[in-house]
Amino acid sequence: MVDPTPLTGEPLAIDLVNTRPNTVDGPVDLLADVTRLRSWLGLQAERFPEPTPDAAALTDADLAAVHAVREHIAAAVHAARRGERPPVTALDGLNAALHAAPAIQELVWDGGSFTLSSHRPGAPGTRLAALLAEDTVGLLTNPAVRKVRTCEGEDCVMLFLPTHPRRRWCSASRCGNRARVARYYQRHKAN
């Protein structure tokens, strides 16, 4: 069982995959509609390397683009963490997202010096899918992807990249606390 509030703080690609946790009522999609996608983007806004598309402009078609890239990310990460080749459809899907809204860099004079500005063409969902796919490239090309784990909490499907080798749960305050309470209950139930 997982609290349906999105977990944040893992690599962005993992946070996106983790928007489909299990709850008491079964699997739930924390990005089931555009409103929830906007909320999730608000939680993640500072983590994107460039400004995210205007959340108010997002549509159901944009949500579908994010859902598609989330599926590709999940398949690629699950395979890569086991050292296996990701499905061709996942790689093709991530590459298609990257190609649909490539980062265009421009040299800009800001009045006193030059800066490099980056932007992406396309619809908001296309740009967002490309940003998420680009973040996934950073995760998949990092040898640390082999360290990504699935939470050991009962019925939890969340992924995490442990910062400590003994970390076992997606969140100490969620699954970790439930495991400690269950162990305490079992110890005292026997007495």
Q: Answer for the pair 53, 124: CB distance below 8 angstroms, yes or no.
A: yes
Residue 147 is assigned to a structural domain of this protein: yes
Residue 168 is assigned to a structural domain of this protein: yes
What is the average pLDDT value for the chain, to the nearest integer?
A: 88
What one-character DSSP code corresponds to residue 24?
T
Residue type, 54: D
Residue 4 is assigned to a structural domain of this protein: no
Q: Provide the residue range defining the domain that includes 79.
A: 12-189
Residue 152 is assigned to a structural domain of this protein: yes
* φ, ψ of residue 22 in degrees (nearest 5): -90, 145
Which of the four pLDDT bands, split at 50, 70 and 90, describes residue 182?
low
Q: What pLDDT does 154 receive? A: 80
Residue 91 sits in a domain whose CATH number is: 1.10.3300.10
Tell whether the model's pLDDT for residue 136 goes beyond 80: yes
Rounded to two decimals, what is the model's pTM?
0.85
Per the model's pLDDT, the better-predicted residue between 57 and 72 turns out to be 72
Residue 5 is assigned to a structural domain of this protein: no
The percentage of the chain sitting over the pLDDT mark of 90, rounded to a whole number, equals 56
Residue 29 is assigned to a structural domain of this protein: yes
Total number of domains constituting the chain = 1
Q: What pLDDT does 2 receive? A: 43
| Helix H or strand E encompassing 34 | helix 34-44
